[in-house]
Amino acid sequence: MKKQKEETIFTEHFRAFYLQHAGELIFFARKFVDIYTAEDIVHDIFLKIWDKRSTIIVEENVRNYLLSAVQHACYDHLKHQQIQDTFMNKVVQQLKLDELKQNESIKDHWWDKEKIEAVYASIEKLPSKRRDIFKKAYLEGQKHTDIAEELDISVRTVETHVYKALKFLRNSLITFLLLV
């Protein structure tokens, strides 16, 4: 019973501690990353503190510790993002090259109604969000930044959906295109 009461008291103090510092930390993180990532970083830091609650020692200048933790987490996120971006750019570039090679091999074929229907049927097999993003990007010609803003998601998420949609379509249509 006593342990449960201690946990309740700690939970209330932790909630107050979170409310006192989270807003400022998110604002600070926003200097370096988007709002969603900033919120995730700050929440992760508080989760780590929560997980280590049995060994936590409250220091006088906890604000500097928290700001430092957010700064390091933002740095780690940006470094990881940089690596990921480099990889994704290479993958997207390779997909475009593959697509150009594919188009080269089929340039002499006429796109008849059957082929077009197969493409649209494959597009309809995509998960709904991915399908919507793909249609906006390829059929409507919207820029990834405009799609991200419209759907309130990151540009990176749009790029990932487009990449996965292209990969799926390529895999699902390759046999059809080779047979024709």
Mean pLDDT calculated for residue range 30-40: 92
**Strand, helix or coil for residue 82:** helix
Length of the chain: 180
Whole-number CA gyration radius for the chain: 24
**What pLDDT shows up at residue 114?**
74
Query: Greater confidence, 179 or 115?
Result: 115
**Strand, helix or coil for residue 155:** helix
Task: Supply the pTM of this predicted model.
Answer: 0.48
**How many other C-beta atoms lie within 10 A of the C-beta of residue 21?**
18
Contact 87, 159 (CB under 8 A): no
39-81 tens-digit pLDDT: 999 999 989 888 887 666 666 688 888 999 999 999 999 888 8
List, as own/partner pairs, every contact residues 21-29 make where C-beta atoms lie below 8 angstroms and the sequence separation is at least 24, other chains included. Answer: 21/62, 21/63, 21/66, 22/46, 24/63, 25/66, 25/67, 25/70, 28/67, 28/70, 28/71, 29/70, 29/73, 29/74
- Please list, residue by residue across 149-175, b when 16 or more beta carbons sit within 10 angstroms of its beta carbon and e when fewer do: eeeebeebbbbbbbeebbebbeebbee
Mean pLDDT calculated for residue range 100-126: 72
Q: Which domains does the chain have, with CATH numbers?
A: 2-77 (1.10.1740), 109-179 (1.10.10.10)
81-101 tens-digit pLDDT: 888 878 777 777 888 777 777
154-173 tens-digit pLDDT: 989 999 998 998 888 888 87
